[in-house]
Structures are given as structure tokens and as C-alpha cells.
Structure 1
Amino acid sequence: MESRKPLGAATRLTTGFQRLDVLEARLCQPINAWSRQRWLRSMFLLVSRLGDGPLWYGLMLALPLVLGKLGLALSLQMMFGGLLGLSCYKLLKARTVRERPFASHPGIVCTGVPLDRYSFPSGHTLHAVLFGWLILSAVPALAPLLIPFVALIALSRIVLGLHYPSDVLIGATIGLLLARLVQALLPLAGFAPAA
């Protein structure tokens, strides 16, 4: 009788992702098919490119000019949160090594440029939710612009064949948790002008 060796944590995680990948690929394929329409592909490529950082960096520079002390505090929150987000994202990607959907499923076409090899979690979504939450907490009037933009960034990751839905969902969850942590550690109230 052959004895089985217990699987290591990394092997169990990889096997779990492989099973999940098969299920999620069925969800990804019809969403990824949207990228065959040129105008949709162009729109999602633009949204994804903005989510790489340029919009967020521009906002971090502009907020102090527009909102004064509150804007400076918000920019500091975003910088601190961005560093935390990048650290979490890199750590998780190095540990989980989940291949991107287009790399594992021939029916999913990559129409964007991946920033790195692995898929889990979506760093674009993590940062979009993180920054979006911080900004909307301070300036709720931006909701009609910012909420659709954040949603489009998350959707773009699946449309472009770069992420599975669970990558996006977990990225969004981590982004929200980090935003709340940043707000607890660096509250805007500490920067409010004295009455």
C-alpha cells in the first residue's frame, strides 16, 4: 500500500487555485469577449492605463492645491495607503503564484499588458478601491465620477483577460480594509482647521 505525503501549504494553495481557475474561466470568457469590440477594448485599455497610477498620482499632487490642509492630509493618506497596498500586493503575488487567466486558458485573450506575471490579487482594483474610499470619505461630492471609474477599473481587469473575478473581489476587499486602517492611523480630523 502506497503512503501519501501530506501536501505543503503552497502546493495546497496552487491546487486550490487550479480548481477555482477552471470554474472562474467560464465566467471570464464571456466578459473577455467584450474586448473583441474595438471601442470597448479601447475604453477598457484607457481605464486600465489610468489605473496604473497616473490619475492617482495627479490627484495626490492636485488635492493640496484645491483643498488646502484637508487635501494635503488626504494626499498623505493616499501615499501611506499606496505603500501598504503595494506591500500587500507584492507579498501575496509572491506567495500565491496564480497564473493569469490568459496564460492558463486558451479561450481567454490578453488584450492588455500585464505589469507582472501573476494574477492574485488585482493590484489595480486594490488601489482603486483604496484610493476611491479615501477620497470619497473626504469629498463625497466626487461619488458620481469616482464610483463608476473604480468599477470600470475592476471590470477592465477581467475584460482584458488579466484577472479572474476572485482576484478582483479580493483586491477590492483588501483595498477597503487598508483604507479603513489608514483612516484609523491617519485620521483627517487631526488636520481639520480649528474653529
Structure 2
Amino acid sequence: MKPRAPAVFDRLDTLEWHLCQRLAGFSIHRPWLWSLRLASKAGDWPIWVALIAGQPWLHGRDEGWRLTFHYTLTALVAIAFYRLVKTRLCRERPFITFSSIACQEPARDRYSFPSGHTMHAVMFCTLVAAHSPWLLPALIPVAALIAISRVGLGLHYISDVIAGAAIGYAMALASLALIA
């Protein structure tokens, strides 16, 4: 038996589908589609692994390794929470619910809520703001493009991205409060 998403998602899907369809429609432009796919791939893991691994180089050995551990632990807790929410709420991706929304990138699973890519992007931006704010001018545009790519590729609704951002921000703030 297929899990059923809460009724609130039915209402949100109906409210959001037209805008999601319109945003995904911009993917007919090859340079834009290429940019979205590149951002999506970067948001899978490479950029965050590089950021975590670079902490000793950015902050010196002792502080850098402490931050490496902090960022890694925060990411692992966020992933566990994200998977718990995603597998309990079971909101289907827009391209599954609405055939008029093209999927421009293979999905890892059938559920969209919340956006894990956006969660990590906002979480790491928040952590970087606390420890290396000078990196933010380079990181914020990448994080924004990652978030946009989720809707532009037809993989998420806008509310999935907003929820992912809120969870990422909350996870980062909680982890910063715990080490303060």
C-alpha cells in the first residue's frame, strides 16, 4: 500500500503547481538547464565535502579539525532528521503529480518534502557565517542556485525548498548553540 501524504500537501500542490511548471519551463534554455544541473550536482555532496575538508586549511589545525567534526556531526544529524521527515510525510514530487511539469534530472526517490539540497545549502551557509563570513559572497550565490535548481529541474515544490531552508537554518543554529 502506497503511503499517503497529509491533506495539506494536496492543497499546497494545487496552489504551487502552476508556478512550479512555469519555473521548470525555463529549462528549455540549454545554458540555464546546464547551470541548474551543475548546481544540483554540486549540492549533492561535493561542495559540502570540500567545505568540511577545508576547515583545517582555513582555520589552522586544532580549530579546523574541531570545525570539521562540528560540520560533519551537524550534517549527519540533519540528514537523519531529513530522512525521518521525508519518509513520514511522503509528498510526491511535482513531476509525478503533474505530468505537465518536466523532470530534468533523475530523482533519488519519489518524495519531495523537504528539499535536502536546500537544507544543506542553508545549513552550511549559516555555519560559515559563524566561522568564516568572508566565504559568504562566494557561497550564498551557489546556495541560492542550488535552491532554485530544485524547482527549476521539476524535482521540488517551492514550499519544499522553503521547508528545507528552514530546517537547515534551525539545524545550524541548534548546533552553534550547543557548542557555544
TM-score range normalised by the length of the shorter chain: over 0.9
Secondary structure of the residue that 2:147 maps to in structure 1?
A: helix
Q: TM-score, normalised by structure 2?
A: 0.93
Q: Does 1:41 align with 2:33?
A: yes
Kindly report which structure 2 residues correspond to 1:99-118, keeping only aligned pairs within 5 A, or say none. 99-118=92-111
Q: CA deviation at 1:62?
A: 1.6
CA distance in 1, matches of 2:67, 2:11: 41
1:70 CA drift (Å): 2.8
Q: Which amino acid aligns with 1:102?
A: F
Q: How much does 1:57 deviate?
A: 0.7
Figure out how many residues of one structure are paired with residues of the other and give that number.
Answer: 177
Q: CA deviation at 1:65?
A: 2.3
Say if 1:32 and 1:161, in contact at 8 Å, map to a contact too: yes
Corresponding residue of 1:18:
10
The corresponding residue for 1:192 is none
Unaligned stretches of 5+ residues in structure 1: 1-9, 188-195
Using the alignment, how far apart are the partners of 2:154 and 2:70 within structure 1?
Answer: 31
Deviation string for 1:145-190 (max 9, x for gaps)?
Answer: 1111111111100000000000000100010000011111123xxx
Asked if structure 1 preserves the Cα contact closer than 8 Å seen for 2:128 and 2:136, the reply is no
Establish whether residue 181 from structure 1 lines up as the match of residue 178 from structure 2. no
Q: Is the 8 A contact 2:74 2:172 kept in 1?
A: yes
1:126-149 CA distance string (max 9 Å, x none): 111111110121111111111111
What CA RMSD, in Å, does the superposition of the two structures yield over aligned residues?
1.3
Match of 2:68 in 1: 75
Distance 2:157 2:138 in 1: 25
Structure 2 unpaired stretches of 5+: none
Aligned AA for 2:75?
A: G
Give the secondary-structure state (helix, strand or coil) at the position aligned to 1:184: helix
Q: 1:172 and 2:130 equivalent?
A: no
With 25-34 and 59-68 compared, the bigger mean Cα shift is at 59-68
Using the size of structure 1 for normalisation, the TM-score is 0.86
Residue correspondence of structure 1 range 65-144 to structure 2 within 5 A: 65-68=57-60, 69-144=62-137
Contact map agreement 1:51 1:124 (CA 8 A) in 2? yes
Structure 1 counterpart of 2:59, one-letter code: L
Deviates more, 1:15-24 or 1:43-52: 15-24
SS of structure 2 residue aligned to 1:42 = helix
Question: Aligned residue for 2:138?
Answer: 145
> What percentage of residue pairs aligned between the two structures are identical?
43
